[in-house]
Structure 1
Amino acid sequence: MTEHEVLAAVRALAPAVRERATEAERLCRIPEATIKDLAAAGLFRLLQPRTHGGLAADPAVFYEALRELGRACGSTGWVAGVLGVNSWIVSQLGPRAQDDVWGSDPGARIASSQAPIGAVAPAEGGFWISGRWSFASGCDHAQWALLGGFLRDAGGAPREMRLFLLPRAAYTVDPVWDTVGLRGTGSNDIVVDHVFVPDHHTVAADRLGSATRPEQSAPEPVFRLPMGPVLTTSIAAPIVGMAEAAYIGYLNAARERIRVTGGKVADDPFAQVRIGRAGSEIDAAWLQLIHNVRELYDTTRRGEEPSLALRTRLRRDQVRATERAVYAVDLLMENAGGSALRNGSHDNTLQRAWRDVHAGRGHVTNDPERSLALFGRQALGLDVHDPML
Structure 2
Amino acid sequence: MGQVLDRIEQFAEEIRAEGVEGDKLMRLSDVSAKRLRDAGVIRMLAPKEYGGFESHPREFAETTMGIGAMDGAAGWVSGIVGVHPWELAFFDRKAQDEVWGEDPDMWMASPYAPLGVATPTDGGYILNGRWSFSSGTDHCGWIMIGAALGDAEGNRVMPPTLLHVLLPRSDYEIDPDSWDVVGLRGTGSKDLIVKNAFIPDYRTLRAEKVMNGMAAKEFGREQTLYNFPFSCIFPLGITSSLIGIAEGALGCHLDAQRQRVTVSGTAIKDDPYVLYAIGDAAAEIAASRAAILETVDRFWDMTEKKQEITFEMRAIGRRTQTAAAWRAVRAVDEIFARSGGGALKLSTPMQRFWRDAHAGLSHAIHVPGSIFHSSALTQLGGEPQGIHRSMI
Aligned to 2:87: 89
Counterparts in 2 of 1:216-231, with a 5 A limit?
216=219, 218-231=221-234
TM-score, length basis structure 1: 0.94
Give yes or no for contact 1:118–1:150 (8 Å, CA) kept in 2: yes
Counterpart secondary structure, 1:55: coil
Counterpart secondary structure, 1:68: helix
Q: Which whole-Å CA distance do the structure 2 matches of 1:6 and 1:342 have between them?
A: 33
Give yes or no for contact 1:285–1:324 (8 Å, CA) kept in 2: yes
Q: Go from structure 1 to structure 2 and tell me whether the alpha carbon gap of 1:294 and 1:156 turns closer, same or farther (over 3 Å shift).
A: closer
CA deviation after TM superposition for structure 1 residue 13, in Å: 3.1
Aligned to 1:65: 63
Q: Which whole-Å CA distance do the structure 2 matches of 1:313 and 1:233 have between them?
A: 14
**Equivalent of residue 287 in structure 1, options 274, 285, 290:** 290
Counterpart secondary structure, 1:259: coil
Q: Which whole-Å CA distance do the structure 2 matches of 1:332 and 1:291 have between them?
A: 26
Q: Does 1:46 align with 2:44?
A: yes
Aligned to 2:180: 178
Aligned to 1:196: 198
Aligned residues: 384
Q: Which whole-Å CA distance do the structure 1 matches of 2:283 and 2:105 have between them?
A: 39
Aligned to 1:278: 281
Which deviations, in whole Å up to 9, do the C-alpha atoms of 1:42-96 show, x marking residues without a partner?
A: 1111110112111111111111100000000000000011111011121122322
Q: Which whole-Å CA distance do the structure 2 matches of 1:57 and 1:231 have between them?
A: 15
- Structure 1 alignment gaps of length 5 or more: none
Give yes or no for contact 2:95–2:203 (8 Å, CA) kept in 1: yes
CA deviation after TM superposition for structure 1 residue 265, in Å: 2.3
User: Mean Cα displacement is larger for which, 316-325 or 64-73?
Assistant: 316-325
Give yes or no for contact 1:45–1:84 (8 Å, CA) kept in 2: yes
Q: Does 1:234 align with 2:232?
A: no
Q: Does 1:17 align with 2:15?
A: yes
Q: Which whole-Å CA distance do the structure 1 matches of 2:80 and 2:34 have between them?
A: 16
TM-score, length basis structure 2: 0.94
User: What is the identity percentage for the equivalent residue pairs of Structure 1 and Structure 2?
Assistant: 35
Q: Which whole-Å CA distance do the structure 2 matches of 1:29 and 1:190 have between them?
A: 15
Q: Does 1:112 align with 2:110?
A: yes
Which deviations, in whole Å up to 9, do the C-alpha atoms of 1:1-34 show, x marking residues without a partner?
A: xx93223213333232112110110111111112
Counterparts in 2 of 1:85-164, with a 5 A limit?
85-152=83-150, 156-158=156-158, 159-164=160-165
Q: Does 1:302 align with 2:301?
A: no
CA deviation after TM superposition for structure 1 residue 212, in Å: 4.5
CA deviation after TM superposition for structure 1 residue 157, in Å: 4.8
Q: Which whole-Å CA distance do the structure 2 matches of 1:261 and 1:273 have between them?
A: 19
Aligned to 2:378: 378
Q: Go from structure 1 to structure 2 and tell me whether the alpha carbon gap of 1:101 and 1:218 turns closer, same or farther (over 3 Å shift).
A: farther
Aligned to 2:333: 330
Q: Which whole-Å CA distance do the structure 2 matches of 1:211 and 1:39 have between them?
A: 28
Q: Which whole-Å CA distance do the structure 1 matches of 2:291 and 2:186 have between them?
A: 28
The code of the aligned residue for 2:317 comes to L
The code of the aligned residue for 1:163 comes to H
The code of the aligned residue for 1:183 comes to R
